[in-house]
Amino acid sequence: MFSIATYTSRLHIILIKHSVLLWFRMGLREMGREFIEIFDGWAEDYDQTVAGIDPEYREVFRNYDEILQEVTMQSKGNVLEFGVGTGNLTKKLLQAGHDVIGIEPSQAMRKIFEKKIPETIVLDGDFLQYPELNIPIQTIVSTYAFHHLTDAEKEVAVKKFTTLLEKNDRVVFADTMFESVAAKQKVIDEAERNGYTTLVEDLKREYYPTTDTIEKIFKDKNFSITFKQMNDFVWLIIAIKNG
């Protein structure tokens, strides 16, 4: 006989399973790793893309070397780099005399990094989950990566940054962002007119923020922030921890 107690017990189990599944899915999303397969597939051609060979991404990576150099110039002390990719920024940071801890979720990217810079260890991790660090950090850097996080995840990441940095330490990011939602749509419309289907899909799929959103996220966590536009897509941000 099917009793109320049995029904309640089975319902309880179903709810637990649903909660675990929901937690698991949320955990995957919170990790910000939903694009790893894309980057694993892109790893071999990444350096060619940033060199401007792909016309769809030529403007995205215009002034690429200058962007990396600017991030390097604005860095100080020990550096934590998120999304090291194939190591292009890391090389500049090392050449400038910084000690660098690299974090990269893509195994394919890490393999290329290790071939290019075998003397430097890159750790498996992302903006939200990474191994415990054994040295103090004065600068957190990243290029072309922060947009993989939703705006809510960006807030969580910046909150974690506050636990790594002391007063007057900094975050130096270069990433695609837009002055407004309308400005982003204008870029999408132009890409569609040019037949840049891959770029259009990219702009619609990823979580490219507005500058106002980024400013609010950092200011809410007690950072002072400045912006500098580097090309039609990329902005440099320098966020100084106030206390």
Annotated binding residues for S-adenosyl-L-methionine, written as ranges, equal 83, 104, 126
**Which residues are annotated as part of the binding site?**
83, 104, 126
Distance CA 193, CA 158 (A): 36
- Residues 120, 91: contact at Cβ < 8 Å? no
Measured CA angle at 111 (ends 205, 92), to 5 deg: 85
Measured CA angle at 201 (ends 200, 202), to 5 deg: 90
User: What's the sign of the alpha-carbon dihedral 23, 24, 30, 34?
Assistant: negative
Residues 6+ apart with CB under 8 A from 162: 221, 222, 241
Edge to edge, the sheet with strand 79-82 lists 122-123, 100-103, 79-82, 139-143, 170-176, 234-241, 223-229
- The first and second tokens of residue 19, run together, are 């909660």
Distance CA 211, CA 146 (A): 13
Map residue 170 onto helix, strand or coil: strand
